[in-house]
Amino acid sequence: MSHLDSSIKDIHAALVAKEITPLELTEEALKRAHEDKSNAFEMICDEEAKAFAATLTEPEADNPLWGIPYVAKDNFSTKGIETTASSDILTGYVPVFDATVIKKLKAAKAVMIAKSTLDELAMGGTGTTGHKGKTYNPNDPSHGRMIGGSSCGSAAAVAEGVAPFALGSDTGDSVRKPASYAGLVGMKPTWGRISRYGLFPFAPSLDHVGYFTRDVYGAAVLLDVLAGRDLHDGTSSEKPVEKYEADLDRPVKGMKVAILKDIVDSITDKGLRRHFDASVKALEGEGVTVDYVGFGRDLLSSLYATYIVISCAEATSNDANLDGIKFGPFRGGKTYQEVMYNARTKGFSEFIKRRFVIGSYCLMRENQEELFLRAQRNRAKIVEKVNAILKDHDFIYVPAAPGVAPLFTQVSDKLSDEYLMADNHLCLGNFAGLPSITLPLCYENGLPIGVNFMGRAFEERKLFQMSAAFERLSGLAETSSSDKKEARL
Ligand code: GLN
């Protein structure tokens, strides 16, 4: 087994013990990236990565990210490296600055080896809409299954052993759903906990920086580095950053968990129900109190519509700068209208155009009250309900998705309860801006299934404490994803 298949913690130990150097590790990661079979990359940064890794010669024992290779989703600005967000509208766009998270990782001496594919402009959840085509789930070597999106390439890169962690972004579930399909830990902290400066906006009231790791320890130490106030991002929080890994070994006895009954009831996959029920018993065995609570089916089945109205409206407004003048290549035209028309007609896929049509329609003066403002009011109701549940409980616990990664040919019935509730509930964490983490639960025929815990705002430390306890119960920690077949729950 290569070091690249292990967790951040184990790779760090190997680097400190000088079993391997950052340059050797980087070269191996680059080699694996070039051998990638999942279509995970927009750009492999051979020269930049090797040059940086070569400067890392003295191991830093108290810096857990020293010399660790990673992958960044291609919607983070990277100075001097083309960044397209997998959209033709940004072909040739080379940012002149690094996103704050990229800067922080550089300062922590982690080595960015590649930029990963995404659903175009981070909209979508299938990993199929980017300009490079489908990204495949490495857990299915026949390439029949999706890895989910929009952070498809980042999930695939970690799952196929190119790097032990990868940055993603999460507006509705774009880290936490692919994490479930990939058998990884997928984390999105509280809104404002990580600066979004340099992350291409999709829907800023919902956008979060998130990331994939192989274990909870990795997720916690990464937050130590990424979190914090940033003067470039007025929405970043001034709350002090904590040592997020401090409580990982502490017992969870006495904690209270709420399971959303309507969501569990809408899951038709019997295997998942069985494993999920076993996990509840295991949590109870640790002294955790588990309550099944109602959320209201009407409210839950309105999540998707509410999300689509708000996110498309915000995206339409934010992406107005992609006009062939401010951003995007000139594709002909004499007047501003013509230039914009040509750039946008050629630069966006049908999928994106459809979302802009929805967004513009919801924002039209005559429709605002009925659509946009109504969705905002419904969001407020949803958030109120989430916070009411979290008043009496430390966490909300649910399956992260209705089952294993779907086949590309599988079309879901978009009006079924399973789709409306079981497939779309992770956006609760974006509506309310709460920390939320997906963890591997089990494997069905070699394909992973994940669960999700969501906690109170800024209680990431406690969320990691619970996650670490869960990871001990599931037995799915600190191994490469290809070895993760024997779950305990
Ligand atoms: N799947 C959702 C969408 O289609 C979420 C995307 C995201 O979180 N970026 O927009």
CA 416, CA 316: separation in Å to the nearest integer?
28
Of all residues in the chain, the percent with pLDDT exceeding 90 is 94
Is 75 in contact with 175 (CB distance < 8 Å)? Answer: no
> Could you tell me if the CB of 122 is within 6 A of ligand 1?
yes
Closest-CA residue to 475 (of 282, 330, 338, 307): 282
Range 231-243 average pLDDT: 98
Of all residues in the chain, the percent with pLDDT exceeding 70 is 98
The pLDDT score that the predictor gives to residue 417 is 86
CA angle 417, 418, 424 (to 5 degrees): 100
The pLDDT score that the predictor gives to residue 451 is 98
Q: Which residue in 6, 7, 9, 73 is the catalytic one?
A: 73
The pLDDT score that the predictor gives to residue 341 is 97
Q: What single-letter amino acid sits at 62?
A: D
Q: Record the tokens describing residue 144, joined without a space.
A: 């029949």
- Would you say residue 277 lies in a domain? no
Range 299-316 average pLDDT: 97
DSSP 467: H
- Would you say residue 317 lies in a domain? no
Range 286-297 average pLDDT: 97
Give φ, ψ of 219 to 5 degrees. Answer: -65, -40
Question: pLDDT tens for residues 358-412?
Answer: 999 999 999 999 999 999 999 999 999 999 999 999 999 999 999 999 999 998 8
- Separation of 150 CA from ligand 1 center, angstroms? 6
Residue 319, SS3 per DSSP = helix
- Separation of 338 CA from ligand 1 center, angstroms? 30
Residue 481, SS3 per DSSP = helix
> Could you tell me if the CB of 206 is within 6 A of ligand 1?
no
The pLDDT score that the predictor gives to residue 302 is 97
Question: pLDDT tens for residues 244-261?
Answer: 999 999 999 999 999 999
Q: Record the tokens describing residue 427, joined without a space.
A: 């956006």
Query: Quick check: 485 pLDDT over 70?
Result: no
Mean pLDDT (the chain) is 96
> Could you tell me if the CB of 150 is within 6 A of ligand 1?
yes
> Could you tell me if the CB of 306 is within 6 A of ligand 1?
no
CA 378, CA 254: separation in Å to the nearest integer?
33
Query: Quick check: 484 pLDDT over 70?
Result: no
The pLDDT score that the predictor gives to residue 486 is 61
> Could you tell me if the CB of 123 is within 6 A of ligand 1?
yes
Question: pLDDT tens for residues 148-177?
Answer: 999 999 999 999 999 999 999 999 999 999
Range 483-488 average pLDDT: 60
> Could you tell me if the CB of 129 is within 6 A of ligand 1?
no
- Separation of 171 CA from ligand 1 center, angstroms? 6
- Separation of 427 CA from ligand 1 center, angstroms? 9
- Separation of 251 CA from ligand 1 center, angstroms? 34
CA atoms within 13 A on the CB side of 67: 30
CA 316, CA 314: separation in Å to the nearest integer?
6
CA 140, CA 9: separation in Å to the nearest integer?
27
pTM above 0.75, yes or no: yes
CA 87, CA 85: separation in Å to the nearest integer?
5
Residue 46, SS3 per DSSP = helix
Residue 150 annotated as catalytic: yes
- Would you say residue 181 lies in a domain? yes
The whole-angstrom distance between residue 254's C-alpha and the CA centroid of its chain comes to 30
Which atom belonging to ligand 1 lies closest to the Cα atom of 125? 1
Query: Quick check: 278 pLDDT over 50?
Result: yes
Q: Record the tokens describing residue 329, joined without a space.
A: 């290549």
Which atom belonging to ligand 1 lies closest to the Cα atom of 149? 1
* Element holding 14 (H helix, E strand): helix 8-16
The pLDDT score that the predictor gives to residue 487 is 64
Q: Record the tokens describing residue 121, joined without a space.
A: 């402009």
Residue 203, SS3 per DSSP = coil
The whole-angstrom distance between residue 314's C-alpha and the CA centroid of its chain comes to 19
> Could you tell me if the CB of 202 is within 6 A of ligand 1?
yes
- Separation of 126 CA from ligand 1 center, angstroms? 9
- Would you say residue 278 lies in a domain? no
Domain count, the chain: 1
Q: What is the radius of gyration, based on Cα positions, of the chain?
A: 21
DSSP 65-98: TTT-EEEEETTB--TTS---TT-GGGTT---SS-
- Would you say residue 43 lies in a domain? yes
Where in 93-213 does DSSP place strands (E)?
A: 111-116, 165-170, 185-188, 208-213
The pLDDT score that the predictor gives to residue 322 is 96
CA angle 477, 479, 484 (to 5 degrees): 85
Which atom belonging to ligand 1 lies closest to the Cα atom of 173? 8
* Element holding 150 (H helix, E strand): none
Burial class for 367, CB neighbours closer than 10 Å (0-12, 13-18, 19+): middle
Range 137-148 average pLDDT: 97
Q: Atom 1 in ligand 1: which residue has the minimum CA distance?
A: 125
- Would you say residue 101 lies in a domain? yes
Which atom belonging to ligand 1 lies closest to the Cα atom of 311? 10
> Could you tell me if the CB of 124 is within 6 A of ligand 1?
yes
The pLDDT score that the predictor gives to residue 488 is 72
Query: Quick check: 483 pLDDT over 80?
Result: no
Closest-CA residue to 453 (of 400, 414, 411): 400
- Would you say residue 407 lies in a domain? yes
Q: pLDDT band for position 478 (50/70/90)?
A: very low
CA 10, CA 221: separation in Å to the nearest integer?
13
Using CA atoms, how far residue 404 sits from 138, 151, 441, 480, in Å, is 13, 17, 11, 18
Question: pLDDT tens for residues 178-235?
Answer: 999 999 999 999 999 999 999 999 999 999 999 999 999 999 999 999 999 999 999 9
Is 348 in contact with 88 (CB distance < 8 Å)? Answer: yes
Give φ, ψ of 75 to 5 degrees. Answer: -115, 15
- Would you say residue 417 lies in a domain? yes
> Could you tell me if the CB of 128 is within 6 A of ligand 1?
no
Q: Between β-strands 111-116 and 289-293, what pairing exists: parallel, antiparallel or unpaired?
A: unpaired
> Could you tell me if the CB of 179 is within 6 A of ligand 1?
no
Alpha helix stretches (DSSP H) within 117-151: none
Residue 174 annotated as catalytic: yes
> Ligand 1: which of 199, 207, 311, 425 to mutate, most ligand atoms within 8 Å of CB?
311
Q: What CATH number does the domain containing 127 carry?
A: 3.90.1300.10
Is 81 in contact with 93 (CB distance < 8 Å)? Answer: no
DSSP 232-271: TBTTS--SPP--TTTTTTS--TT-EEEEEHHHHHT---HH
Query: Quick check: 287 pLDDT over 70?
Result: yes
- Separation of 45 CA from ligand 1 center, angstroms? 27
> Could you tell me if the CB of 303 is within 6 A of ligand 1?
no
Q: pLDDT band for position 480 (50/70/90)?
A: very low
- Separation of 148 CA from ligand 1 center, angstroms? 10
Residue 416 annotated as catalytic: no
Closest-CA residue to 257 (of 288, 297, 224): 288
DSSP 207: -
Query: Quick check: 479 pLDDT over 70?
Result: no
Burial class for 145, CB neighbours closer than 10 Å (0-12, 13-18, 19+): buried
Q: Which residue in 154, 174, 349, 467 is the catalytic one?
A: 174
Query: Quick check: 482 pLDDT over 90?
Result: no
> Could you tell me if the CB of 352 is within 6 A of ligand 1?
no
Range 420-440 average pLDDT: 97
Query: Quick check: 475 pLDDT over 70?
Result: yes
Using CA atoms, how far residue 213 sits from 178, 187, 285, 362, 408, in Å, is 12, 8, 27, 37, 25
Range 39-66 average pLDDT: 98
CA 9, CA 222: separation in Å to the nearest integer?
11
Q: Which residue in 38, 150, 154, 480 is the catalytic one?
A: 150
What range does the domain containing 55 cover? 3-250+397-485
Adjacent-strand bridge partners of 406: none
